[in-house]
Amino acid sequence: MSPTYSEESRELAFQEAIDSDRTVEPRDWMPERYRSTMIRQIAQHAHSEIIGMQPEGNWITRAPSLRRKAILLAKVQDEAGHGLYLYAAAETLGVERRELTDLLIAGRQKYSSIFNYPTLTWADVGAIGWLVDGAAITNQLALTKTSYGPYARAMVRICREESFHQRQGFELLAELSRGTKAQHEMAQDAVNRWWWPSLMMFGPPDTESPNTAQSMAWKIKRVSNDDLRQRFVDMTVPQAQALRLELPDPDLRWNEARGHFDFGPIDWEEFRQVVGGHGPCNQQRISVRRAADEEGAWVREAARAWEGRQQSRTSAA
């Protein structure tokens, strides 16, 4: 059914506001598709933050020193906070956090593919901080200018904390890389395993992305998947040289004419498999999330009971 005249004029006014860089706020009128796209993307982002706690949390009890344990604890706690900011941003669009958690556990909403890979050694904690948080920052810096106000403001705070995450990962790898031969090899092995999945974090090529064109028109995305991926490669190659670690891509070389690094082909079949639920850890990540949700049910019920009692006391007073 074509939108009524008033809806068409509203959509035109909405697009004009977007084109003039007006920020969309929760009480503004917005096309239903804009709302559902924002809920989809913010939910995917929030789910990623919470699921992302699992691979790193796996090493908290095995950190090699008290200092490293404290840093990793702080980082994993930050990720929980990022998830809560983002669920709060999604709730401004009229969706309940409970509903989003149910959709995630039922496999009907996504989280970032990157968290479906295992953390096999301590060096993986460094590779995640340096590469995964580095890629996340590249994406999230652009999202500080996204058209939906609550999402953009959540990004500003998250990016500040992400820069600490990326720096601690870089420092961890620098220590290993300059350590014993075995430590250097452990760092190189982790980078070999996390490099290509980190490039996949930015999403499919622009030519295969069903959402990018509309998201760019609505300024949800300010930079396309491929351009963000290129930014990340250009930023990371010099850092790998400083770490004295190789990036596992024989085609990686500076292209003077382009002013960027050329890099090799990404295995998009692997990406589709992982996004489709067939990655190394997909089942484990969701069953851990489901168990945490079930084990936490009594806390939610107790909080609701307490809240109900408070409300009846207030109304009785």
Binding site for ligand 3HC (CB under 6 A): 40-41, 44-45, 48-49, 52, 79, 110, 112-113, 132-133, 136, 139, 162, 200-204, 209-212, 215, 225, 275
How deeply is 292 buried, as exposed, middle or buried, from its count of CB atoms within 10 A (0-12, 13-18, 19+)? middle
Query: Is residue 142 within 8 Å of 202, Cβ to Cβ?
Result: no
Instruction: Give the integer Cα–Cα distance in Å for 244 and 187.
Output: 10
Instruction: Give the integer Cα–Cα distance in Å for 269 and 49.
Output: 24
* CB nearer ligand 3HC, residue 184 or residue 282: 282
CB of 290 to ligand 3HC, least distance (A): 19
CB of 200 to ligand 3HC, least distance (A): 6
CB of 309 to ligand 3HC, least distance (A): 37
3-state secondary structure at position 93: coil
The residue among 181, 175, 200 whose CA lies nearest residue 265 is 200
Q: At what angle do helices 32-51 and 282-295 cross, to 10 degrees?
A: 90
Contacts of 282 (CB under 8 A, 6+ apart): 116, 274
List phi, psi (to 5°) of 167: -65, -40
Handedness of CA 266, 270, 275, 276 (dihedral sign): positive
* CB nearer ligand 3HC, residue 111 or residue 184: 111
* CB nearer ligand 3HC, residue 211 or residue 284: 211
CB of 250 to ligand 3HC, least distance (A): 24
Farthest-apart Cα atoms in the chain, separation: 75
Number of Cβ atoms within 10 Å of the Cβ of 239:
17
CB of 313 to ligand 3HC, least distance (A): 40
* CB nearer ligand 3HC, residue 37 or residue 184: 37
* CB nearer ligand 3HC, residue 7 or residue 142: 142
Q: Which two tokens stand for residue 161?
A: 């904390």
Strands (DSSP E) contained in 198-270 are 253-255, 260-262
CB of 122 to ligand 3HC, least distance (A): 17
* CB nearer ligand 3HC, residue 184 or residue 223: 223
CA 158, 205, 42, 294: dihedral to nearest 10 degrees? -100
CB of 13 to ligand 3HC, least distance (A): 24
CB of 43 to ligand 3HC, least distance (A): 9
* CB nearer ligand 3HC, residue 27 or residue 108: 108
* CB nearer ligand 3HC, residue 186 or residue 223: 223
